Amino acid sequence: MTCQSYVLKGGNRVEYTIKTLLTREEVERRIKELAKEIEKDYQGKDLLVVGLLKGSVVFMTDLIKEIDLPLEIDFMSASSYSGTESTGIINISKDLDIDVKDREVLIVEDIIDTGLTLSHVRKMLEERGTKSLKICTLLDKPSRRTVEIKGDYTGFEIPDEFVVGYGLDYDQQHRNLPYIGIVVKK
Ligand code: IMP
Ligand code: MG
């Protein structure tokens, strides 16, 4: 458990600890399993892996190294979050460079929470004429869902807790933790 006392971007000081939920070994093992499933399903297909910035970066880099197939990658930035609360507003601050028309697209996300971000991104990419569109998420908080959406490949279902690490942040901090931890406020 790591002890933190941190001044948020807004100026408020918060004190919290980070309690391990999933160890580095558990996460790494599961990523290898997901990669092998993806590898099996995309044999002979022209795969384009799309990461949603910034949360998916750590997961995605580990994932693609384990997929033994020709593939391309691209990134998009779509966010609905500020601090720990969902605003419900989706902002696309960076769009894809690659045209997804007729492509077999796999969206990689860090976590599905309310599902708002992904349902918006999915609709947008489908409207551009993808040949297929699937979702791979490291984490899923099904109890928080407000729109119907499911990962085709899901690493772990987790309880309704705010988590950090492996790409996930709390006020932009802790993305580099090599495990998934719950933010426990004091
Ligand atoms: P959604 O649109 O509510 O599904 O939000 C998804 C996004 O919210 C994720 O890509 C994360 O960036 C962020 N998010 C949701 N839950 C957490 C969490 O527990 N920790 C850190 N970020 C989270
Ligand atoms: Mg995100």
Q: What is the dihedral of CA 41, 47, 51, 57, to 10 degrees?
A: 80
Ligand 1 site, residue 135, Cβ cutoff 6 A: no
Confidence of residue 85 (pLDDT cuts 50, 70, 90): low
Q: Which atom of ligand 1 is nearest to the CA of 115?
A: 4
Is residue 163 scored above 70 in pLDDT? yes
CA of 111 to the centre of ligand 2 (A): 7
Q: What is the pLDDT of residue 1?
A: 56
Give the residue, by CA position, lying nearest to ligand 1 atom 16.
Answer: 113
Q: What is the pLDDT of residue 80?
A: 67
57-65 and 24-41 helices cross at what angle (nearest 10)? 60
CA of 103 to the centre of ligand 1 (A): 26
Q: Which atom of ligand 1 is nearest to the CA of 112?
A: 4
Gap between the Cα atoms of 117 and 94, Å rounded: 14
Average pLDDT rounded to a whole number, residues 132-148: 96
Average pLDDT rounded to a whole number, residues 24-47: 98
Q: What is the pLDDT of residue 33?
A: 98
Share of residues in the chain with pLDDT > 90 (%): 82
End-to-end CA distance of the chain: 13
Confidence of residue 11 (pLDDT cuts 50, 70, 90): confident
Gap between the Cα atoms of 180 and 163, Å rounded: 7
Q: What is the pLDDT of residue 146?
A: 92
Three-class DSSP category at 122: helix
Is residue 88 scored above 60 in pLDDT? no
48-62 pLDDT per residue, tens = 999 999 999 999 999
Strand partners, 74: 50
Question: What is the average pLDDT score of the chain?
Answer: 92
| Phi (first) and psi of residue 92, to 5 degrees | -95, 100
